[in-house]
């Protein structure tokens, strides 16, 4: 039953671009993997990564010179890295970070089919590549999740306690809550971010819009088709409701209007997730931004740069404090090794302290010392006297014994004379 439900959820939740926006080609001269229609860049690697669920995903890695942070970007629905490629380059330059973006299983040229658990395996494969192939440490990695990408992002962040930071861009509370305002999590729901976000221990930035009023360009069919694709792919709604929404807008205003707002994921999702964060950072509620074009707003880039700069400085302070503690500990250990000689020095210094006392004290101390010596001499004299008396007693006993023997001998002589 669980597999059937998961398959149904996948059909409603995932809309990979069809056909994919890019193809993979191999440069015969250099043996490098490239994205078709994109010129090769020396600082960009195109990779194929195996996952623990048997699929193979495509990823791009963008280097930035002297970067101290690495951004792992999980893109939104109805997109692939071919569509995100130029954005990845720009974000790396403006934010001064290394950046890795990847396609979920079944997206772009990645193998397999899209599913909740496949996306968990996909982000794990990308994270493993950052650690093993590029030497990134957990403390230097920032996870970035947009829309559906907030699902694998929060899931991985909840299991990594030393991450540098997390960015949630138009996140969802859960898959089911996008369609229905349910009050509890059900077993068949997917991407239960609402239950996992309290487990994330690093600084978290939430970016979302603050209004949900829909404006559209309605002057040609191209814009209408673009809107229809956006809503169907991102909101998991039937085409019938999309047509109804478009009709309502046309009836309410026949004039062209500019500007958009997030009608795909309600702003309450972002606000509730932010309230549940352990380590909150000032959120960004953009006015008039749509679900997919927030990165086009200057406020977005400024706020994101400020956030990354803040977490980098905080990490540097922690590292400096850790180094100073380690230095203190090392100094303490070295002083512990020389504790023996220091104690002997202390023993020699004890008499020196007595010389610094006042004259009166020294006189009393002198008198007291001589009194002690007299007492000791008195005890010794008494001991000698007892010993002498003991010897005299022994001599007296010996003389008495001799006298008795002499008397006995004389008595024997007297008896002999009588006979």
Question: Taking Cα atoms as reference points, which of 112, 88, 110 lies closest to residue 101?
Answer: 88
CA dihedral in degrees (109, 114, 120, 121; nearest 10)? -50
Q: Calculate the dihedral angle through the C-alpha atoms of 266, 178, 163, 53, rounding to the nearest 10 degrees.
A: -150
320 to each of 48, 233, 282, 315, 344, how far by Cα in Å? 37, 47, 25, 9, 37
Contact predicate 305/165, CB 8 Å: no
Query: Which DSSP letter does residue 18 get?
Result: S
Distances (CA, A) of 212 to 78, 148, 262: 21, 19, 6
**Pairing, β 32-35 against β 24-27:** antiparallel
Angle between helices 2-13 and 116-134 in degrees, nearest 10:
80
Residues taking part in catalysis: 147, 262, 291
- List helix spans (H) across 236-358: 239-252, 267-276, 298-337, 339-354
């Amino acid at each position: 039953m669980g597999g059937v439900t998961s398959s149904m959820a996948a059909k409603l939740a995932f809309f990979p671009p069809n056909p994919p926006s890019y193809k993979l080609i191999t440069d015969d001269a250099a043996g490098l993997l490239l994205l078709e229609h994109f010129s090769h860049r020396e600082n960009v690697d195109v990779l194929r990564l195996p996952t623990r669920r048997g699929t193979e995903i495509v990823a791009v890695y963008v280097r930035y010179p002297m970067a101290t942070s690495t951004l792992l970007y999980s893109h939104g629905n109805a997109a692939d890295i071919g569509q995100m490629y130029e954005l990845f380059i720009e974000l790396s330059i403006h934010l001064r970070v290394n950046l890795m973006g990847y396609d979920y299983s079944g997206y772009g040229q990645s193998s397999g089919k899209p599913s909740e658990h496949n996306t968990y395996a996909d982000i794990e494969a990308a994270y493993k590549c950052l650690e093993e192939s590029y030497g990134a440490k957990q403390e230097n990695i920032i996870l970035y999740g947009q829309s559906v990408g907030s699902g694998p992002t929060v899931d991985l962040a909840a299991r990594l306690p030393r991450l540098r930071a997390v960015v949630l861009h138009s996140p969802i509370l859960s898959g089911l809550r996008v369609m229905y305002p349910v009050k509890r999590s059900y077993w068949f729901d997917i991407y239960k971010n609402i239950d996992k976000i309290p487990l994330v221990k690093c600084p978290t930035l939430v970016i979302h819009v603050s209004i949900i009023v829909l404006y559209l360009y309605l002057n040609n069919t191209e814009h209408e088709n673009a809107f229809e694709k956006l809503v169907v792919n991102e909101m998991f709604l039937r085409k019938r409701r999309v047509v109804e929404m478009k009709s309502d807008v046309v009836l309410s205003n026949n004039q062209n209007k500019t500007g958009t707002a997030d009608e795909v994921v309600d702003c309450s999702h972002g606000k509730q997730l932010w309230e549940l964060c352990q380590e909150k950072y000032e959120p960004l509620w953009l006015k008039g931004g749509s679900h997919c074009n927030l990165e086009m707003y200057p406020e977005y880039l400024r706020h994101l740069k400020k956030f990354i700069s803040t977490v980098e400085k905080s990490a540097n302070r922690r590292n400096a404090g850790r180094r100073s503690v380690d230095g203190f500990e090392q100094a303490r250990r070295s002083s512990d090794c020389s504790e023996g000689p220091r104690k002997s020095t202390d023993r020699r210094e004890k008499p020196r302290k007595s010389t610094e006392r006042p004259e009166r004290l020294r006189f009393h101390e002198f008198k007291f010392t001589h009194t002690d010596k007299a007492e000791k001499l008195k005890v010794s004299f008494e001991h000698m006297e007892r010993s002498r008396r003991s010897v005299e007693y022994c001599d007296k006993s010996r003389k008495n014994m001799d006298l008795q023997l002499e008397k006995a001998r004389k008595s024997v002589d007297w008896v002999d004379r009588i006979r």
